[in-house]
């Protein structure tokens, strides 16, 4: 293998370990590409990546891992809630407290309220999303750095 080829391989490996960066430095993580436990991937026109994840029962979990640098962030969860009784989910960031969040309104793809958190050292940060109510479809997680 030539030196040039090795450099290309190393660059690809580095990219594979990082979260995708969207416009304006926003890290976008698709729910359907996360680690799923008893959660079903659904096709949904208009969703990011064309797919969402349905938390099917009380043991359903989605684990999203973001590689982040030390600093302050804001995370927003996007999804579709069919009704006000079917719009909630739980979120735990790292070893923080579990929070109950809701999609901001029903019947279309919308965000949760943003949640601020901080990272005390560079590396992987786990965000655990778990079941609170039935029929909530989660599309993606967006993380952006804040001051
Ligand atoms: Ca998606």
Q: Per residue in 17-68, pLDDT tens?
A: 445 566 668 999 999 999 999 999 999 999 999 999 999 999 999 999 999 9
For the whole model, what pTM was predicted? Answer: 0.84
Q: Distance between CA 97 and CA 66 in Å, rounded?
A: 18
- What fold is seen in the domain 20-146? Jelly Rolls (2.60.120)
Domain residue extents for the chain: 20-146
Q: 3-class DSSP state for residue 97? A: coil
For residue 131 the two structure tokens come to 């079941």
Which DSSP state fits 47?
S
Q: Distance between CA 32 and CA 140 in Å, rounded?
A: 8
Task: Point out which residues pair with 85 in neighbouring strands.
Answer: none
Q: How confident is the model at residue 14 (pLDDT cuts 50, 70, 90)?
A: very low
Residue 27 C-alpha to ligand 1 middle, in angstroms?
Answer: 13
> Which residues line ion ligand 1, judged by CB < 5 Å?
30, 47-49, 51, 139-140
Q: 3-class DSSP state for residue 49? A: helix
Q: Per residue in 98-111, pLDDT tens?
A: 999 999 999 999 99
């Amino acid at each position: 293998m030539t030196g040039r080829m090795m450099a290309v391989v190393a660059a690809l490996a580095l990219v594979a370990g990082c979260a995708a960066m969207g416009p304006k430095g926003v890290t976008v993580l698709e729910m359907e590409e996360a680690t799923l436990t008893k959660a079903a991937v659904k096709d949904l026109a208009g969703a990011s990546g064309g797919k969402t994840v349905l938390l099917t029962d009380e043991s359903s979990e989605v684990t999203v891992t973001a590689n982040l640098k030390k600093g302050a962030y804001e995370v927003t969860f996007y999804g579709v809630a069919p009704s006000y009784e079917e719009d909630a989910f739980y979120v735990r960031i790292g070893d923080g407290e579990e929070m109950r969040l809701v999609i901001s309104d029903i019947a279309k793809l919308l965000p949760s309220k943003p949640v601020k958190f901080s990272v005390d050292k560079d590396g992987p940060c786990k965000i655990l999303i778990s079941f609170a109510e039935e029929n909530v479809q989660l599309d993606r997680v967006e993380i952006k750095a804040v001051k």
